[in-house]
Amino acid sequence: MQVKIYDTTLRDGTQAEDFAFSVEDKVRIALKLDDIGIHYIEGGWPGSNPKDVGFFREIGNYKLKQAKIAAFGSTCHPNSTASSDLNLRALLDANTELVTIFGKSWTVHVKDALNTTPERNLEIISESVAFLKQQGKAVFYDAEHFFDGFRDDPHYALATLDKAIGAGAEVVILCDTNGGNLPSQIQKAIGAVKERLGPVAFGIHAHNDSELAVANTLTAVEMGAVQVQGTMNGMGERCGNADLISIMSNLCLKMGYPCLSEENLRKLRQVSRFILEVANVTPDRYQPFVGRSAFTHKGGVHISAVAKNPKTYEHIDPALVGNTRRFLVSDLSGRATIKQKAQELGFELSKADPVAMQVLEEIKELENQGFQFEAAEASFELLLNKAMGTTKKYFELVGFRVIDQKQSEKEDPVAEATIQIRVGGQLEHTAALGNGPVNALDKALRKSLEKFYPELKDMELSDYKVRVLPERPGTGAKVRVLIESSDGHDQWSTVGVSHDIIEASWQALADSYNFKMYKAGKLAGEK
């Protein structure tokens, strides 16, 4: 049995809060989905908005490798005929080979949402599918709220499927639209479908309101579903849709359904991140299979075991889905962690090398003070260099002063930083204004260093986080500052801790500049 993937990111996915795509965005995503071998791509609902009409017009200019584009809509209005229904006409105007329409399976929706009779609902399902078939379209029928409808009135829910199949629907898709059903309920309902309708081609469309969308989808496949619907990264209304990333990974790697080739499976993380980048949404680092933390190990016992045999704490090889293994450095680390992390960074430490123990002890002491290196790997690499005696001193701080002045109730504060540094025996003294004291200090340091290190011109601070540590209450507490920097090619994070927020910011800031220059030096050395 072959299981085909139906992606509805461009329609159902955009119903998620804070998700929106332009026509150009949707075309770019569709091309990415086609590139990895998705079978069907639902482009939108042309009867609902001009943007989706524009997408179907634009995507027609591209030759896709394999994917079929589907236009989405509903059955005709109860008070109209299929041939005169504007929604169905919009589906025809989308000019796709395939259309997907949804109809009501639950008597609650028939009476309260459609405001019609159960008998008329059966008629419009049959009329709508038959009309589209007469126009030469392949038709998928989404049985909306099927599982809830089956629970309330099994006979009627099954009758709606019977009407769609009788009118010519190629596949009927059973929908857990409210996302509230358990795998056992999915199994029971599908068993009844197979018993009543025989060997019908059916699919599954699950929402994630009970955190069971992927489980329910895989249950349906085990029961014989030939099509699975979902969205990339699980985006969708309320709690989202079934995540196709997890579904495809499980189908291919654990259930023996090669819905994607091995080569395309390795592109999953890249495509996942591409879609989130286009949506301008921060990736979930804990997302299964493709999240940054999905194959990240922190405990010393775990790291020691994984270094010997990754199967001890990893359910698959991360490379199969385009991900990588990571080891975090923290006060939970052991020598194996330090050695493994050093190896990742290009340093070889032997079993007897005392550097690992020295770094380990220093990390534990610093984390006891409030430092956190698992989120500041650049600071850790500088610490490792220092322990190995390979540190280069790029500049020496002579001193700085930061003034934050508010001159009236209505005016914003004005921050000014003055800094003195020494580079190679030369004293540099500069000042700068900024949006706040840290920004002013950053500008002053940059102004001082750029004449000596021009490579700093392409560097910028991309994120700044402050956390008050719970050691002492109130304003006397320590703070931890995490700074993330980038240069257009790489990103790195650094950390500082102090009772003084400016001092903590300076520590992280200085590490950030030092790491950029250290990185540039490494590249120059490699060349």
Q: Who wins on pLDDT, 315 or 369?
A: 315
Instruction: Decide: helix, strand or coil at residue 339.
Output: helix
CATH number of 396-526: 3.30.160.270
In this prediction, residue 353 carries a pLDDT of 67
Is residue 257 within 8 A of residue 221, CB to CB? The reply is yes
The CA distance from 426 to 338, in Å, is: 37
In this prediction, residue 428 carries a pLDDT of 94
pLDDT tens, 377-405? 788 888 877 777 767 789 999 999 999 98
DSSP 136-182: T-EEEEEEETHHHHHHH-HHHHHHHHHHHHHTT-SEEEEEETT----
Structure confidence at residue 338 as a pLDDT band (50, 70, 90): low
In this prediction, residue 260 carries a pLDDT of 96
Helix axes 23-35, 50-59, angle to 10 degrees: 50
The CA distance from 505 to 497, in Å, is: 8
Q: Is residue 252 predicted with pLDDT exceeding 70? A: yes
Q: What are phi and psi of 174, to 5 degrees?
A: -85, 120
Q: Is residue 321 predicted with pLDDT exceeding 90? A: yes
In this prediction, residue 526 carries a pLDDT of 45
Kindly compute the dihedral angle of the four CA atoms of residues 499, 503, 505, 506, in this order, to the nearest 10 degrees: -160
How much is the average pLDDT of 22-37?
Answer: 95
17 CB burial (10 A radius; 0-12, 13-18, 19+): exposed
In this structure, what token pair is assigned to residue 177?
Answer: 């639209």
Beta carbons within 8 Å of 393's beta carbon, 6+ residues apart: none
How much is the average pLDDT of 450-469?
Answer: 88
The CA distance from 83 to 89, in Å, is: 8
* Cα three-residue angle 352-353-354, rounded to 5 degrees: 110
Residue keyed to tokens 């001009």: 50
4-260 homologous superfamily: Aldolase class I (3.20.20.70)
* Cα three-residue angle 131-137-141, rounded to 5 degrees: 75
pLDDT tens, 257-296? 999 999 999 999 999 989 988 888 888 989 999 998 999 8
Q: Is residue 375 predicted with pLDDT exceeding 80? A: no
In this structure, what token pair is assigned to residue 395?
Answer: 């500049």
In this prediction, residue 48 carries a pLDDT of 87
Q: Who wins on pLDDT, 57 or 407?
A: 57
In this prediction, residue 143 carries a pLDDT of 98
Bridge partners (DSSP) listed for residue 422: 396, 427
In this prediction, residue 469 carries a pLDDT of 80
Structure confidence at residue 110 as a pLDDT band (50, 70, 90): very high
Q: What are phi and psi of 195, to 5 degrees?
A: -70, -40
How much is the average pLDDT of 247-263?
Answer: 97
Distances (CA, A) of 499 to 78, 160, 363, 467: 69, 67, 19, 11
In this structure, what token pair is assigned to residue 488?
Answer: 């257009």
Lowest mean pLDDT among 70-79, 181-190, 227-236, 362-371: 362-371
148 CB burial (10 A radius; 0-12, 13-18, 19+): buried
Bridge partners (DSSP) listed for residue 139: 99
- Please give, one letter per residue, the 3-state secondary structure of 280-321: CCCCCCCCCCCCCCCCEECCHHHHHHHHHCHHHCCCCCHHHH
Q: Who wins on pLDDT, 166 or 346?
A: 166
Is residue 135 within 8 A of residue 96, CB to CB? The reply is no
Q: Is residue 522 predicted with pLDDT exceeding 70? A: no
Structure confidence at residue 527 as a pLDDT band (50, 70, 90): very low
Q: Is residue 452 predicted with pLDDT exceeding 50? A: yes
Distances (CA, A) of 287 to 48, 224, 260, 306: 32, 27, 20, 20
Q: What are phi and psi of 72, to 5 degrees?
A: -115, 145
DSSP 230-274: EBGGG--STT-B-BHHHHHHHHHHTSS--SS-HHHHTTHHHHHHH
Bridge partners (DSSP) listed for residue 40: 6, 68
Domain ranges of the chain: 4-260, 396-526
- Give pTM, 2 decimals: 0.72
288 CB burial (10 A radius; 0-12, 13-18, 19+): middle
Is residue 104 within 8 A of residue 78, CB to CB? The reply is no
In this prediction, residue 376 carries a pLDDT of 76
In this prediction, residue 332 carries a pLDDT of 53
Q: Is residue 495 predicted with pLDDT exceeding 60? A: yes
How much is the average pLDDT of 157-164?
Answer: 98
The CA distance from 166 to 182, in Å, is: 29
Structure confidence at residue 350 as a pLDDT band (50, 70, 90): low
Structure confidence at residue 352 as a pLDDT band (50, 70, 90): low
Q: Is residue 256 predicted with pLDDT exceeding 90? A: yes
